[in-house]
Every structure is written in C-alpha cells, then in structure tokens.
C-alpha cells in the first residue's frame, strides 16, 4: 500500500504564495487575481487533508484523489518556484555588474510572463476539478496539523544514549554461555544463529553479547558486519576487513581480499557478528566461510536472521530462537519511552489504556518503543484511546510484514515529519545516512518548515532528533570529524518504501517500477558487477530510465555520469552525481537547491558555465576535487548560496571578487586549495559566515585580519601570509580569543622572511586563540621564542611546529594534559631537547601517543628528567633527517620506531616494530643499530640504494616474524643474512637486483608461511631447497622476467594454499609435480605472455577452489570452455575467472623506490589490501 501525504506540500505552496518576492512579482506581472484564486482553492482543500490522509488506508478512491491532488500540487509548486526565481533575478539586476546584467536582459520577460500565465490557468482548472471531487468523500474539516509541542524539541539526550535494554539479560547469558562452552574450544570455527521475527531485538541481543566484558576478554578480535539482503562474498570480505582495520579497503579482486583477510584472522580467536542475514544460497555462504577457517580454535560467528532456513544452512550449533518480550517487560519499556510517571495525575486511567496498547504490540520491542515514544507528551485520555482503537490494528495483512504499530506511529506524525521520514526510502537498506546530507536534501525539497527567523538547518536538526527518538532512526554515531550518521531498522525502511513506492525509486536491475513520470526521487547506485563486465545493456537501461523520469526532484547518481544527452531534468531540486563536464542545460535547472558533484577518480570538470547564475535558489554547492581555476563572475548572483565546498580544488587560483555580496554564505570550504593566491576583499561583510577554512592576509584594503573580527568562525581556520600583519594591534583585531567554536587553527607566515620579522613575536602573541582549541599548527614563524599562552590551551590534542627556524628551544608542551600527537619539523636552531620541553608538571606528556621529529640538523642530545614518568603512553616515534642525534631515551610503551633520511646513527632499545628507509650513502648498517633488539618482531628496510651487506646484523633477531626488504639494489648477501631467522613467518623481497635464486643454501626458514619475491630482475629460479619450506602457505612471484619455471621440488610444499605468478615475461611452464600440492586452494597467473598451458595433473587438485587467469593469451585459449584443449582438466574448479588480454592494464616498467614500497610495503605485515597506501613517511 503506497500512502499519499500531500498536506506538507500544500502548506509549503501556501507559504510561498505569501512570500514578499512573489507578491512583488504578481503585481508586476498582472497575475495577482489568478494567484489569489489558487491560494483560496488550496486553503479550502487543506482543511480536509488531515481527514483524507487518514481515510486513505481503507479507501482506494480517497487515495487516488490524493494522488491526483499531489501531482497538481507538484506542478503548482514548480511554477511558483519559477515565478520566485524570476522575481529574484529582476530584483538582483539592479545590483549586478553590467556584464552580468546583460546576461539577464537578453531574456524576453514578456514572453515568459505570457507563457507562465497560461500554465497557471491550466493548473487552476485542474485544481478546481479536484476540489469539486472532494465533496463526494464527505471529508471532515480539521484545523491545523498534528503539530509537536515545542518542549519536545529539547528532549535530545537519546541521540547518544540508548535507552536501557529490558528483558534480554537471560537471553544474553544464554548466548554468552553458548560461546564459551567447552566443546567450542576444540573446534576451529563454530556458527551460532539467533533467529526471530523482525523487530524482536536480535541485533540488540547481539550487541549486548558483543560488548560484554567477558566476550571482549575472550576473543582477540571482535568484528561486526551488517549483511542485509545483499550477500555478496567480495563485499562481505571487504566489510570484515574494514571492521578490523577501521579504514577503507581498496582491493577489488576476490583473491587478494581473501588472502588479506586470512592474514588478519590467522591464529587468532575471533568473534564475527553477521547481522541481518537473508541469504539462502549455501554455495555463497560456503564461499565466504572458507575465508574464515584460519582462526584459532574457539572462533565463533554469530548470525542474526529472521529466516529459519538461513539459520539451518549456516548454524553448526543449536539455533537460538529469540522469544517475544514478556507483558511485564513490554509494559516497563513502554513506560520508559512514554515517560509515564506513577505520580502524575490520571496515571491509573492511562495505565489501563497503555497496557491494552502494549498487548496489541505482541511483545515486539520495536513496536512498543515506537508507540511509547509517540505518546510521551500526550497526556489526554482521548489521545491514548485513539491509538488503542485505531482502525490500523484491524487492517488486513498486505504481506509486507510492516508492523501496525509502526504504521500507527507514522500516521501520528505531523505532515512534515512524515515527509522527511518517507523520503529516506531513497537510500538502500542498512545504509549509513549522513545527517548533514539528509538535512540538506530535506531542505532542498522543501520538507523543512520555516519557523519565524529560525535557521532551517536548526529545525532540520530537530526533525532528525525527533525521528531518532521515535525509533525511526537508530544506530546514531558520530566520528572523530564530527560527522553524524544513522541507520533505519529494516522494518522501518520497509515502511518508508511502502509509503513512497510510486514517488521514490532506488534503481535495482531486477526490480520493476511504475510509471517513470510518477517518480519524484531517483537513486541509481553503483551496481555490483564483476571486473571488466559492465554490461552495455545495463548502461543503456539506466540512461533510458534517467531520460524518461521527467518529473524527478531528487537525483542521486552513483553509477553513471550526468551528460547533455540524459539531462532533461528541469524540475530537479537536489542533484548528487558525477560529471565529466557540467552540461550547459544545468543552467536551466532553475529549481535546483542542492548540487553535489562527487569525485570518482576520473572527474575532469575544469570550468563552470556562465549559465550557473540562473541557479538562484541554490543553497548548497560542492565542487570539491574538481579542476576548476575560478568561478565565473556571475557566481556572485547566487545570493541564496549558504554552503560552498571547494576543498581539494588544486587548480583553483581565485574566488569571485564580489563575494562580499553573497550575504547568505555560512560555509566556505577551500581547504587544500594550494593554488589559491588570495581571498576576496570584504569577507568581513559576510556576517553569517561560521566556517572559513583559509584566509590569506594581504595589505590591500579589505584583506587584513581585521576582516575576521566580527565573524563567529568554527571548525578549522588557516591564516596564511601572516608576515603581512603589521603588528600586535592589527593581530588583535582578528579577535581569535573570542572564537570559542574554533577547533583547529593554523598560523602560517610566508616562506621568505617578512617585511616585519622583528614584529613576528608580538604578532603571534596577539593571535592567542580561545582555550577550546584542539588542533594547532605554527609554520614558517621567524620569531625567537614561542608565546606563553601556548600551554594555556588545555584542550589541545595535536600540535605541529613547522619551519620555526630561529627558535632554539622547544616550548614546555609536556604540560598539555590531552596532547596525543606532536610533530616538530624544520627547527634548525634546536640543539638539545631539555627539561624545558617537559614543563613543570609531575607527569609530563601524560596522553602523548605519537611523536615526530623531522629535519632537525643540529639536534644532538635528548635529556631525560629523572623521577618523573615520561611519555607513559607513547606508541609511535619517528625520526627523519636528524643526523647528529645518537641516543634516545627508553620508552617502555613504544610499539613502532621509524628511522629515515640520515638517521642511521640512532640507537633505541625497541620492543616491536622498526622501519629504516631512505638512507642514501649507507653501505653497511652501523654496529648497534640492530644489536640487542631481541624483542623485534617486524623489520622493514626500504630504499637504501647503497646498502651492500646485512651479514651478522640479523643474527640476534631471534623472534623476528616479519621481514621486508625493498629497493636495496646493491644488497649482495640477502640469503646469508636470513640464515638464522628461525621464527620468520613472512618475507618480502622487492627490487633486490642481486637476488638470483631462493632459498639458496638457507635451511633455517622453517617457520616461513608467506613469501613474496617481486621486481628482482636477475631472479631466475626457486632452488631445490624450496622443499624445506614445509610451512609455506602463500607464495607470490611478481615482475621477475628471468624466471621461466618452478622446480619439481615444489611438490613437497604440502601446506601451500595460494600460488601467484604475475608479470613474469619469461615464465613458460608449470611442472607436472604441481598435482601433489594437496592443500592448494587458489592458483593465479597474470600477464605471463609466454605461458602456453598447465600440466594435466591439475585435474588431481581436488582442493583447488579458484583459478584466476588474466593477460595470458595462450593460456586463455588453452583454458577456454568452448573448445579449449585444457578445459577438461580445469572444469572441476568451482570458480574460474579468465579475463581477455588487456594490454592497457599491463605496462612493464621499473617503479621508483618509493612506489615499490608503496606496492608491497605491508604485505608481510598483514596489510595486503593497503598496497597503494603504505608508503613510509617522507
């Protein structure tokens, strides 16, 4: 059942009819009478809309009438919007430059008025007919909407604090006891299924278990993944990896994804929660489960599902069937959500009714919470009776599974809340919705009602809180950057879809839809497709859909670009898409309020057409990452623009000079626009501005720091070219000390000595920020000392001192209680880290976790302070270009040390991980650098182009597990250096030109599990001693052109599970003995252009699950399913991927030292998915 709610739209139209701009337009255009008649008819209809919207649930005729009315209302709204735009342009022409004015004067206003008057007449005629039709439904007039008491808006504590969970303690204990049963400790992997109907609290129960202290202590890894109805193995593996790493995984191919996941899980007892599983395909589940069978004994997967068949397919333990809440707990939950107090008047009467309402909820917590929240500020007995006796309880089941309580809770929302909620169906199930984006989209579509002079975003924020409180939104989280996201329960999402079924459509290749002309909000997401198989038919289908949806108001494009060919969308108000160039037709989207052009890696927008100024309603503009150099002069006409995001536009060199007239601007994000030379004069006139990421100081009028005086700026601010500030008086005029909402501040002087170098100390002293500041950076400061107020900023968590070349002493930063990250770079005059650095506190640097020193050419000594706990939490320490510093203090909590660029003389007892890189001129390691490092488990040596020998330097590393050597082209004794590394589990050798064979005479690598040999131009063979690597599980050989085959002794690698040969031009054959690799699961060949075939014995590899071939033209023919000679030998492999030889994908070249490390740097350390993100700090 698709509900139709039109009252919010009608209210918006009536509000617009009374706007000042439109009144002026109607008088000038002689349309006053027609518009007044339209207002009168709409007001008559509005009086019965509340009754009509309630009766539609049992009357198809009323629902159809509402649908006709809504279509007319949309057309009227668009027409009034065009009137308002024209009125705005006419009024603005008087204040425009002649160039811009000419642009508008070319329009024929008389023709426009005549044409629109005719459209208005047709709309009035259609509306009169609908108004006449309403009489036959006997609708009752009701005054006003279901407004919410203003007190509700301030009940906001539920946003971050979940209400207490009731009635699930016994369930929690039962599940936890099941996880720690004695039998599970003997099993490699157990699957525990929690099964129950939607809304019962399966996810809540899993969260209670997941966050229990006993579970946290009992599992080395805890991973949470929301699965939903899209069970796609590659997506799930990426989701698991991202849950573990806490960052995005960029790997696309399945095989490396599986390898990396197994590296993360291997040997660890883990708990994985797969929430909301719908997949009934055993093969898909089995394919995913195979990636998990590497953990320690006692590892568990918890599955939550509504479907008994899913639980039966997946579970290896008895299924836990979640029961309904008891009547007692249901009532307690209802009281909690409705804030019903026993002491209040009329409690007994409400209690009796409330318990009957709770019984109707059937013990489903989601339903109880929804209705309890709805009634929390309704204390009239009649309101509660209305809910109890609602006809919605008696509606026949339409098969959607939507709880009547949810529909009832929805129906009792004010119209604007109903509209805001239902709009969310444009997003996919289990999607994390960005709160800020959601509010912007609501505003663009006119869903947020105006309330006097209050900001619409503030009201939108309150709507978000209200929907959260009423359980329409859940899982509200805020990340470190302040970005708030939420989700919708799948039953709630189903409700939204049922309401907006005809108007809101998210493209699914397998899903049908109604008339494209009915679609008002369209989302075409990126379709999950295998690599290189993006079907043309799908592409055409999406474009045809786009062209046929002529009434669309919201358009979100994830998979296709907006072009001139598919851009007839004149009604669009919110546009979120990727573009190669901005179509000229975009200027005709006069209704557009929200424009977000996303960066997809190939975005090449480099200019904005002048027709952009037609978008006079635009309030939100995001062109980040584009290649534009400037905005057109007509951009100054965007007088309604409030948010302008231009971050990372590296070619942007200037902003519009008349920007001071854009008085509606609240946010100007120009961060990382490194080509920007100046900010326009008169920024101080933008009194509503609360976010300005960069301000470039100039001596010109209107460009000094005094422009910031009256601006209440927040978030981050970078003040550049501070050498143009004449003295303390001007510096104080910036009024930074009053900007209490500012969280990040960078003070940057010019790279060359300024005109007033002697004044820089007093300038810096007068730029004191508010004590709320959290992130602070000083760069290119030429003073001799730092201001005393630096230690009076108690909330600082990050400080960076960069290129302060004349300062000879470090400030007492040890007194900052919350400081976590400290970066000190380019301080040429600092010779000693003394007690002054620690400050006067008893416990200096109590919170510091990361400490970086870079380019400190005369730093010689580091003095410790006896009797005080120094750096009690330090985990990462980095030294680069500190040639004179020899010895470091002891840091008991240190986990990682990085030494680079002339830091080879450093010595530091170190417990865990060490990186040494970019030390040119170093032929042998200094004695002592690796001596006594008996606890070292990870070692990376990269880009030491002159290093010749490692002999005797690795002998003491008795517990070393992971070793990577990259771009050490002159290193001659690699094999000798590996002799005694008995604990080594993973080894990466990249760009080692003297490596000819492996493992040579090395017998000690008895623990080696992962081997990667890459870009070794002289490497010709694996020796017969490879047979001694009996624990080897994964082997990669990449870019070794002299390798022509594998030795017969490879047959002894009984533990080998994955073998990859890639980009080896000379590789011609695989030995027959490969048939003895009884554990081999994956076999990959990439760009081995002379490899003709595989041995027939491959047919014996019954464990082989994946065969991947790309860029091997002869082998591709041999393996072809249709007539290939080798197909009978590989047909038994469950998953075979063969891709045509794509020469564009293969470019044989020697990579630079840095990119070598980038590609392979973290392979042995379990970070295969980060191959393009692991470049060491430079």
**What was the pLDDT predicted at 806?**
93
Alpha-carbon gap, residue 630 to 285, rounded angstroms: 52
Q: For residues 679 and 670, what is the distance between their CA atoms, to the nearest angstrom?
A: 10
Comparing CA positions, the residue from 219, 193, 196, 197 lying closest to residue 274 is 193
Q: Is 572 left (phi over 0), alpha (psi -120 to 50) or beta?
A: beta
Q: What is the pLDDT of residues 407-458, one digit of tens each?
A: 878 877 888 898 999 999 999 888 899 999 999 999 999 999 888 778 889 9
How many C-beta neighbours within 10 Å does residue 135 have?
A: 9
- Please give the C-alpha separations between residue 491 and each of 37, 198, 406, 494, 530, in angstroms, as whole numbers: 43, 7, 9, 5, 30
The C-alpha atoms of residue 1029 and residue 38 are separated, in whole angstroms, by 85
177: confidence class by pLDDT, cuts 50, 70, 90: confident
CA gap 1083, 1105 in Å, rounded: 9
Count Cβ atoms below 10 Å from residue 1070 Cβ, excluding itself.
23
pLDDT at position 964 is 93
CA atoms of 440 and 620, how far apart (whole Å):
8
State the virtual CA torsion across 952, 954, 958, 961 in degrees, nearest 10: -160
Q: What is the per-residue pLDDT for 376?
A: 78
| Predicted pLDDT at 391 | 66
Where is average pLDDT lowest: 11-15, 120-124, 348-352, 742-746? 348-352
**CA 626 – CA 624 distance, rounded (Å):** 6
What's the first-to-final CA gap in the chain, in angstroms?
A: 60
- The confidence score (pLDDT) of residue 566 equals 55
Q: Which of 833, 761, 836, 837 is nearest to 799 (CA)?
A: 837
Ramachandran angles phi, psi of 471, nearest 5°: 75, 15
| Cβ(631)–Cβ(655) below 8 Å | yes
pLDDT band, residue 141 (cuts 50/70/90): confident
| For residue 284, pLDDT beyond 50 | yes
Instruction: Report the pLDDT averaged over residues 1122-1150.
Output: 68
Rounded CA separation 544/811 (Å): 64
pLDDT in the model for residue 643:
95
pLDDT at site 966:
92
**Average model confidence (pLDDT) across the chain:** 82
- Would you call 874 exposed, middle or buried from its count of C-beta atoms within 10 A (0-12, 13-18, 19+)? buried
Sheet containing strand 484-487, strands side by side: 433-434, 484-487, 474-478
pLDDT in tens, 624-647: 988 899 998 888 888 899 999 999
Locate tokens 């069978």: which residue?
Answer: 293
Does 1178 have pLDDT greater than 80?
no
Over the Cα atoms of the chain, what is R_g?
34
Taking a C-beta distance cutoff of 8 angstroms, is the pair 848, 820 a contact? yes
User: pLDDT per residue over 81-135, tens digit each?
Assistant: 888 877 777 666 655 544 444 444 444 566 677 788 888 899 999 999 999 888 8
Distance set, CA 140 to CA 51, 134, 1036 (Å)? 6, 10, 76
pLDDT of residue 772: 95
**Sheet bearing 189-195, strands edge to edge:** 221-228, 270-277, 299-305, 189-195, 320-321
β-bridge mates for residue 986, sequence order: 962, 1010
CB 1031 within 8 A of CB 999: no
| Residue 7 predicted with pLDDT over 60 | yes
Q: Is the C-alpha dihedral spanning 965, 971, 974, 980 positive or negative?
A: negative
CA distance 279 to 299: 22
Q: Tokens 């189903």 appear where?
A: 494
Q: What are phi and psi of 506, to 5 degrees?
A: -105, 120
Range with the poorest average pLDDT among 31-45, 84-98, 257-271: 84-98
By the 10 Å C-beta count (0-12 exposed, 13-18 middle, 19+ buried), 246 is classed as exposed
């Amino acid at each position: 059942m698709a509900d139709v709610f039109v009252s919010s739209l009608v209210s918006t139209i009536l509000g617009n009819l009374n706007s000042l701009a439109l009144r002026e337009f109607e008088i000038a255009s002689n349309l006053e009478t027609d518009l007044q008649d339209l207002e009168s008819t709409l007001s008559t209809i509005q009086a019965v809309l509340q009754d009509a919207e309630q009766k539609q649930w049992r009357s198809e005729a009323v629902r159809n009438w509402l649908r006709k009315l809504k279509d007319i209302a949309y057309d009227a709204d668009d027409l009034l919007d065009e009137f308002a735009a024209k009125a705005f342009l006419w009024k603005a022409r008087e204040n425009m430059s002649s160039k811009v004015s000419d642009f508008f004067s070319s329009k024929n206003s008389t023709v426009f008025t005549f044409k629109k008057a005719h459209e208005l007449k047709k709309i009035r005629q259609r509306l009169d007919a609908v108004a006449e039709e309403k009489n036959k439904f006997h609708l009752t007039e009701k005054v006003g909407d279901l407004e919410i008491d203003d007190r509700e808006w301030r009940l906001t504590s539920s946003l971050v604090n979940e209400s207490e969970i009731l009635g699930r303690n016994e369930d929690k204990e039962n599940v936890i006891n099941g996880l720690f049963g004695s039998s599970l400790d003997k099993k490699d992997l157990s699957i525990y299924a929690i099964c129950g109907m939607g809304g019962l609290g399966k996810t809540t129960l899993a969260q209670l278990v997941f966050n229990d202290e006993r579970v946290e202590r009992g599992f080395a890894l805890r991973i949470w993944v929301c699965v939903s109805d899209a069970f796609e193995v590659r997506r799930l593996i990426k989701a698991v990896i991202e849950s573990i790493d806490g960052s995005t995984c960029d790997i696309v191919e399945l095989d490396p994804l599986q390898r990396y996941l197994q590296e993360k899980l291997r040997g660890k007892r883990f708990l994985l929660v797969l929430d909301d599983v719908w997949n009934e395909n055993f093969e898909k589940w089995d394919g995913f489960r195979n990636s998990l069978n590497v953990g320690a004994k006692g590892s568990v997967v918890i599955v939550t599902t509504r479907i008994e068949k899913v639980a039966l397919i997946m579970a290896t333990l008895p299924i836990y069937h979640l029961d309904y809440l008891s009547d007692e707990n249901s009532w307690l939950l209802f009281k909690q959500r409705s804030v019903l107090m026993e002491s209040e008047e009329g409690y007994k009467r409400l209690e009796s009714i409330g318990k009957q309402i709770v019984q109707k909820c059937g013990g489903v917590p989601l339903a109880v919470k929804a209705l309890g929240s709805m009634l929390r500020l309704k204390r009239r007995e009649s309101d509660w009776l209305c809910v109890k006796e609602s006809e919605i309880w008696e509606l026949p089941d339409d098969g959607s599974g939507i709880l009547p309580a949810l529909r009832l809770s929805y129906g009792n929302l004010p119209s604007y809340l109903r509209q805001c909620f239902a709009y969310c169906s444009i997003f996919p199930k289990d999607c994390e919705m960005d709160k800020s984006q959601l509010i912007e989209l609501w505003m663009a579509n006119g869903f947020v009602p105006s309330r006097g002079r209050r900001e619409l975003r503030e009201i939108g924020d309150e709507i978000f809180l209200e929907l959260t409180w009423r359980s329409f939104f859940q899982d509200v989280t805020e990340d470190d950057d302040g970005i708030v996201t939420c989700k919708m329960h799948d039953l709630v999402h189903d409700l939204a879809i049922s309401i907006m079924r005809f108007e809101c459509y998210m493209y699914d290749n397998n899903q049908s839809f109604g008339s494209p002309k009915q679609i008002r909000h369209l989302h075409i997401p990126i379709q999950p497709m295998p690599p290189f198989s993006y079907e043309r038919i799908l592409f055409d289908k999406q474009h045809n859909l786009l062209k046929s949806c002529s009434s669309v108001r919201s358009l979100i494009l994830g998979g296709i670009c907006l072009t001139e060919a598919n851009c007839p969308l004149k009604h669009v108000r919110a546009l979120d898409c990727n573009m190669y160039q901005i179509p000229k037709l975009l200027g005709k989207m006069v209704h557009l309020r929200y424009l977000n052009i996303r960066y997809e890696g190939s975005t090449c927008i480099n200019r904005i057409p002048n027709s952009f100024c037609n978008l006079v309603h635009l309030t939100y503009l995001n062109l980040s990452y584009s290649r534009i150099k400037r905005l057109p002069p007509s951009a100054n006409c965007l007088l309604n623009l409030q948010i302008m995001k231009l971050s990372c536009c590296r070619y942007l060199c200037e902003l519009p000079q008349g920007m001071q007239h854009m008085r509606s601007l609240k946010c100007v994000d120009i961060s990382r626009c490194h080509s920007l030379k100046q900010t326009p004069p008169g920024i101080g006139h933008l009194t509503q501005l609360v976010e300005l990421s960069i301000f470039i100081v100039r001596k010109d009028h209107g460009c000094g720091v005094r422009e910031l005086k009256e601006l209440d700026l927040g978030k981050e601010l970078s003040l550049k070219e501070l050498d143009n500030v004449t003295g303390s008086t001007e510096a104080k005029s910036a009024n930074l000390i009053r900007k209490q909402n500012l969280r990040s501040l960078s003070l940057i002087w010019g790279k060359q000595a300024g005109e007033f170098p002697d004044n820089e100390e007093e300038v810096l002293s007068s730029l004191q920020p508010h004590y709320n500041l959290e992130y602070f950076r000083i760069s290119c400061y030429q003073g001799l000392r730092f201001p005393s107020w630096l230690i009076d900023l108690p909330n600082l968590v990050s400080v960076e001192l960069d290129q302060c070349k004349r300062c000879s002493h470090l400030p007492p930063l040890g007194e900052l209680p919350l400081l976590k990250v400290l970066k000190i770079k380019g301080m040429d005059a600092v010779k000693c880290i003394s007690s002054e650095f620690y400050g006067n506190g008893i416990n200096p640097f109590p919170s510091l976790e990361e400490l970086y020193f870079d380019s400190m050419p005369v730093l010689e000594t580091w003095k410790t302070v006896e009797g005080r706990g120094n750096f009690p939490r330090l985990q990462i320490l980095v030294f680069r270009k500190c040639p004179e510093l020899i010895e470091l203090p002891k840091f008991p909590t240190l986990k990682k040390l990085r030494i680079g660029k002339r830091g080879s003389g450093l010595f530091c007892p170190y417990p865990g991980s060490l990186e040494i890189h970019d030390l040119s001129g170093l032929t042998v390691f200094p004695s002592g650098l690796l001596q006594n490092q008996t606890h070292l488990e990870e070692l990376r040596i990269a880009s030491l182009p002159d290093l010749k020998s490692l002999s005797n330097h690795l002998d003491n590393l008795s517990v070393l597990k992971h070793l990577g050597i990259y771009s050490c082209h002159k290193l001659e004794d690699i094999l000798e250096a590996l002799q005694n590394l008995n604990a080594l589990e993973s080894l990466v050798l990249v760009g080692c030109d003297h490596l000819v064979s492996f493992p040579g005479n090395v017998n000690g690598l008895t623990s080696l599990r992962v081997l990667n040999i890459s870009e070794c131009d002289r490497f010709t063979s694996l020796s017969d001693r490879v047979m001694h690597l009996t624990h080897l599980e994964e082997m990669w050989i990449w870019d070794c052109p002299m390798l022509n085959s594998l030795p017969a002794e490879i047959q002894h690698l009984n533990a080998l599970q994955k073998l990859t040969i890639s980009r080896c031009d000379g590789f011609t054959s695989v030995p027959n003995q490969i048939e003895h690799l009884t554990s081999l699961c994956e076999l990959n060949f990439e760009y081995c252009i002379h490899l003709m075939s595989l041995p027939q014995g491959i047919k014996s590899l019954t464990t082989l699950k994946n065969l991947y071939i790309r860029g091997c033209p002869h082998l591709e023919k041999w393996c072809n399913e249709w007539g290939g000679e080798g197909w009978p030998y590989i047909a038994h492999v469950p998953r075979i991927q063969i891709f045509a030889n794509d020469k564009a994908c293969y470019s044989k070249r020697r990579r630079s030292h840095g990119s070598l490390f980038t590609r392979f740097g973290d392979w042995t350390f379990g970070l295969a998915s980060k191959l393009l993100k692991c470049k060491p700090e430079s």
